[in-house]
Chain A
Amino acid sequence: MLRYAFKRLISLLISLVVASVVIFAVIEVAPGDPASFMLGVNAQEDTLAALRAELGLDVSNAQRYLDWVGGMLVGDFGTSYTYRTPVSQMIADRMWVSLPLALYALILSTLIAFPAGIYAAARRGKPGDLTVMGATQLGIAVPNFWFAMMLVLIFAINLRWFNAGGFAGWNKGLWAGLHSLTLPAIALALPQAAILARVMRSSLLDILGEDFMRTARAKGLTYRQALWRHGVRNALIPVLTILGLQFSFLLAGAIIIEQVFYLPGLGRLVFQAISARDLIVVESVVMLLVFAVITVNFLVDLAYAAVDPRLRSRT
């Protein structure tokens, strides 16, 4: 097991190094000088040179890459070109919006998807099943930004139950914070819920055809009891896998939703940084997301290996 974990760790490190090179190269290759973007069309050459020196842009690319990676190793993500504040501080601030939003959306999508999927599986082929499946089809097809606009139109502009956007801030209290994240979370959650409901349904249908389900009925359980006690529990495994994948999607997929609701989250930070050529911010945030995904995969690999000894021997 240790040997296996060590091997996975080595491949994780290699992935990170490759990712950092690719990210740096791709972002630096795109044309556009951050200094001339910041100083505009009337800037004089000497002013530009002074700013470039101040930003540390006057050294070679290789040197800048090494500085960047070296800094990250000790937790220093550098200083934003435009905001002039430490990138790690900015990321931490934005996380307080993006992470709760992703969690909120995940909980909502679970709350919608589980009952819907179980209900549809239990009524396979009946009108209830067809309605739920039709709704999920729609949920997958509708783009979430459009759906977000519809939510704003109905609940913010007409009914006035919510603000059209913006984030109240956690210092105004838990309720105010959650309130301002509700519409974005719904907009994010619904397409995910639609996918999850379909997975839940098909996974449960597979289980319902298994021999142990027939045995459960034969020993005297009602259909309902068998469904809940043996069916749903076993059907959860693939559903949880999808749920895990969705979380990283929710974190990254919030870019558009954060624009529509003008939330000060990670997605908006990246969006602003890209248009302002704040390269260091873009690179660091992307690197952080890559790190999160690779680490989650690493942990999942270990968990699989712990559960299934065959995986250990094979590698």
Chain B
Amino acid sequence: MTKQTFRTFVSALAMGASLFATQALAKSDITIAMQLEPPHLDPTSAAAQAIDSVVYTNIFEGLTRFMGDGSVVPGLAESWEISEDGTVYTFKLREGVTFHDGTTMDAEDVKFSLDRALAEDSANAQKALFAAIASVEVADPLTVTVTLSEPNGNFLFNMAWGDAVIVAPDSIDNIKTNPVGTGAFTFGEWVQGDSITLNRNPDYWGDQPALETATFKFISDPTAAFAAMMAEDVDVFDNFPAPENLPQFEADPRFQVLVGSTEGETILSTNNKQPPFDDIRVRQALAHAIDRQAIIDGAMFGYGTPIGTHFAPHNPAYVDLTGNSAYDPKKAAKLLADAGYEEGFETTLHLPPPSYARRGGEIIAAQLAEVGITAEIINVEWAQWLESVFKGKDFGLTIVSHTEPMDIGIYARPDYYFQYDSLDAQTLIETLNTTTDPEERNRLLGEMQRLIANDYVNGYLFQLAKLGVAKAGVQGLWKNAPTAAIDLTQISWSE
């Protein structure tokens, strides 16, 4: 045996032994699978949710943060004061917070992060979150004053987004491949195409997490996802892509299935400017021609909550308006006849890749055919969808899940791709944005929901479910997804 092979042999033995050793102790590592790989690891310069899934609350933290139930709680800001008129926010920062590179996190870093998002050449995908900010001032190392140009009831909520996390100024050049944050986990290794590893941060300012290391694995194929879970290669599948397999996991004592809700309102988006959809009677006919439950059962295997407006049912301000557009093909046919389309009409139905769209689209096309509407199905990739539907507005109908939290404001943007132009909606949202009283906000949100439901802007289908699968011993996983995140700080193994 040569020296080299002997050495390999010994290290292999040692590796085997250490493997046994870790298994004997309580498990402190976890392998979490997700469908998409993040393009890079900077949550402040891309829309990809996969980035947030890996880094949000784990590597990066913001002034405020989302909890699993959707509430917004203090993050790096310990507390804050809001001026009488609602335009000046004074944030008191936590003491003794350091970035992973050892530098101290202070008010200058907060100013830097917010200014960077606001800058002319900023690549922030959610720049609108910061639009209200007029200026950011450093009062002392632990106090930041943010002045808004007008009151904004959403400001603390906006600051909880992954796009608003606090970054270390020195790390910006390499943030995409070597993220440096303040979180409970530090970036370990990224084997591109395969996995990302995070390690516990021993210098974390808050409670030490139970996990020592976490590995994110990227498995895009639904069949492969099923196999990886069944073979116990991975411990958790964050959002399981094959709902048809869930009953099998539910019946298996080795696994647990977590059915929750996302912020994704799945809608049959309608081009409000394109005839005949510029006629409200036609849009109402669409709404009554659709059997939501059949779509949920057929496309999502029963997972998903029916919605009657563009709002998340788990939100306290939600109003159940599903009755407004109940399945009634006779009424739909009559409405079409009133609008002058006894013979029906032809339109296009653009379907992006997710199964809710592709499977749901087949069912909707069949349901529309029953009232005489011929919808030509056009399957598109996301890039194409963005180009032709979202930007080009060249479509009749499309199915898409709007996954941003609290995004009812899109109905106040007449140039938004479904082109709903209503002065009432625009005034309502304007009032809402400047309202800070929670009760008044809920009332306004209810009014807005009713308005867009009664105008039948889009066909409101269902709230997209979050379907998590995990090994039975995993605790502390988020059931719902108020934002894209896999909060490792809460996760542990039961004995």
Q: Please report A residues at the B interface, Cβ cutoff 8 Å.
A: 30-34, 36-44, 46-47, 50-51, 54, 82-85, 90, 93-94, 149, 152-153, 156-157, 160, 163-167, 169, 172-173, 175, 259-265, 268-269, 272, 275-277
Known: A32-B382, A156-B227, A262-B218. 7 other contacts (CB 8 A): A33-B386, A38-B125, A39-B47, A39-B125, A41-B386, A54-B123, A157-B231
Q: Pick the residue among B39, B126, B391 that contacts A82 (CB under 8 A).
A: B39
| Interface pairs (28), CB distance under 8 Å | A32-B383, A33-B387, A36-B387, A36-B391, A37-B382, A39-B123, A41-B386, A41-B404, A42-B128, A44-B127, A83-B39, A83-B40, A84-B40, A84-B176, A93-B192, A152-B224, A156-B227, A160-B231, A163-B231, A165-B227, A166-B194, A166-B195, A166-B228, A259-B224, A260-B221, A262-B218, A264-B191, A275-B353
**Smallest CB–CB gap between A229 and chain B, Å?**
37
CB contacts (< 8 Å) of B382 on chain A: these are 32, 37, 275
Q: Mark B277-288, 1 if CB is under 8 A from A, else 0.
A: 000000000000
Complex Cα distance, B230 from A164, in Å, reads 9
- When C-beta atoms are compared, the residue in chain A nearest to B392 turns out to be A31
Q: Which residues of A contact B383 (CB under 8 A)?
A: 31-34, 37, 275-277
A contact residues around B152 at 8 Å (CB): none
Once A165-B224, A262-B228 are accepted as A-B contacts, the answer to whether A272 and B37 lie under 8 Å apart by CB is yes
**Set of chain B residues within 8 Å of A263, measured between Cβ atoms:** 193-194
Enumerate the 10 nearest inter-chain pairs by beta-carbon distance, A residue then B residue, closest first: A40-B47, A32-B383, A264-B193, A82-B39, A164-B227, A164-B231, A264-B194, A277-B383, A39-B125, A156-B231
CA distance in complex: A64, B415 (Å) = 32
Given A164-B228, A262-B228, A275-B382, also A31-B388 (CB < 8 A): yes
A262-B220 in contact (CB<8A):
yes
The reply to whether A262 and B123 contact each other, CB–CB distance below 8 Å, is no
Residue in chain B with minimal CB distance to A80: B39
- Report Cα–Cα, A268/B194, bound state, in Å: 10
Chain B residues whose C-beta falls within 8 Å of the C-beta of A36 in the assembled complex: 386-387, 390-391
Q: Is B217 an interface residue (CB 8 A)?
A: yes
Most buried by B among A30, A54, A84, A90: A84
**A38 contacts which of B48, B192, B387, B390 (Cβ < 8 Å)?**
B48
Q: Chain A contacts of B156 at CB under 8 A?
A: none
Most buried by A among B15, B217, B381, B404: B381
> CB-CB contacts of B351-390 with A at 8 A, as 1s and 0s?
0010000000000000000000000000001111011101
Q: Smallest Cβ distance from A167 to chain B, in angstroms?
A: 6
Q: Does B177 contact A (CB under 8 A)?
A: yes
Query: Judging by beta carbons under 8 Å apart, are B224 and A42 in contact?
Result: no
User: B213-252 toward A: CB 8 Å interface, digit per residue (1/0)?
Assistant: 0000111110110011011010000000000000000000
Q: What are the residues of chain A within 8 A of B390 when measuring CB–CB?
A: 36, 41
Question: Are B124 and A31 in contact, CB atoms less than 8 angstroms apart?
Answer: no
Q: Which of B47, B127, B383 has the most CB of A within 10 A?
A: B383
User: In chain A, what residue has the closest Cβ to B227?
Assistant: A164
Looking at the assembled complex, report how far the CB atom of B404 sits from the nearest CB atom of chain A, in whole angstroms: 7
The interface residues of chain B lying within 8 Å CB-to-CB of A169 are: 191, 194
A262 adjacent to B219 (CB under 8 Å): yes
* A260-B224 contact given A39-B47, A40-B125, A90-B192, CB 8 Å threshold: yes
Q: How far is the CA of A51 from the CA of B120 in the complex (A)?
A: 11
- Chain B residue contacts of A47, Cβ below 8 A: 122-125, 127
In the complex, whether B451 has a CB less than 8 A from a CB of chain A is no
* Alpha-carbon distance A265/B15, docked complex (angstroms): 26
- When C-beta atoms are compared, the residue in chain B nearest to A261 turns out to be B224
Report B-chain residues with C-beta under 8 Å of the C-beta of A272.
37, 193, 220
Neighbouring A residues of B228 by C-beta, 8 Å: 164-166, 262
Contacts of B122 in A (CB 8 A): 47, 50
**What's the minimum C-beta distance from A184 to chain B, rounded to whole angstroms?**
11
Q: CA–CA, A160 to B126, complex, Å?
A: 45
B176 to chain A, nearest CB (A): 5
Given that A31-B383, A37-B383 are contacting pairs, would A262 and B217 also be in contact in the complex, using a CB cutoff of 8 Å?
yes
Give B3 Cβ to nearest chain A Cβ, in Å. Answer: 17
A50-B121, A50-B122, A173-B8 known; A259-B220 Cβ under 8 A: yes
Per the bound structure, the CA–CA distance linking A50 and B127 in Å amounts to 13
B46 interface hit (Cβ, 8 Å):
yes
B12 interface residue per 8 A CB criterion: yes
Which residues of B lie under 8 Å from residue A31 when comparing CB positions? 383-384, 387-388
Q: How far is the CB of A263 from chain B (nearest CB, A)?
A: 8
Residue of A nearest to B40 (CB): A84
Residues of A contacting B218 in the complex (Cβ-Cβ under 8 angstroms):
262
Q: Which of A38, A166, A260, A264 has the most C-beta atoms of chain B within 10 angstroms of its own C-beta?
A: A166
Task: Give CA–CA (A82, B191) in the complex, Å.
Answer: 15
Which residues of chain A are within 8 angstroms of B127 by Cβ–Cβ distance?
43-44, 46-47
The digit string for B445-482, where 1 denotes a CB below 8 A from any CB of A, is 00000000000000000000000000000000000000
Q: How far is the CB of B354 from chain A (nearest CB, A)?
A: 12
For window 116-138 of chain B, which residues contact chain A by CB distance below 8 Å? Answer: 120-128
In the bound complex, how far is the Cα of B193 from the Cα of A90, in angstroms?
A: 10
A32-B125 contact given A42-B404, A93-B192, A262-B218, CB 8 Å threshold:
no
Residues of chain B with a CB closer than 8 A to A164's CB:
224, 227-228, 230-231, 233
CA distance A38 to B43 in the complex (A): 12
Q: Which of B177, B223, B224 contacts A84 (CB 8 A)?
A: B177
Residues from chain A with a CB closer than 8 A to the CB of B231 are 152, 156-157, 160, 163-164
Name which residue of chain A comes closest to B42, CB basis.
Answer: A84
Q: Closest chain A residue to B176 by CB distance? A: A84
Distance from A112 Cβ to chain B, minimum over Cβ atoms (Å): 24
Query: What residues of chain B lie closer than 8 Å to A167, measured between beta carbons?
Result: 194
Q: Given contacts A31-B387, A50-B123, are A165 and B219 in contact (CB under 8 A)?
A: yes
A275 to B390, CA, bound (A): 17
Bound CA span A173–B11, Å: 10
A192 to chain B, nearest CB (A): 22
CA distance A51 to B47 in the complex (A): 13
Residues of chain B with a CB closer than 8 A to A277's CB = 383
Which residues on the B side are within 8 Å of A259 (C-beta)?
220-221, 224
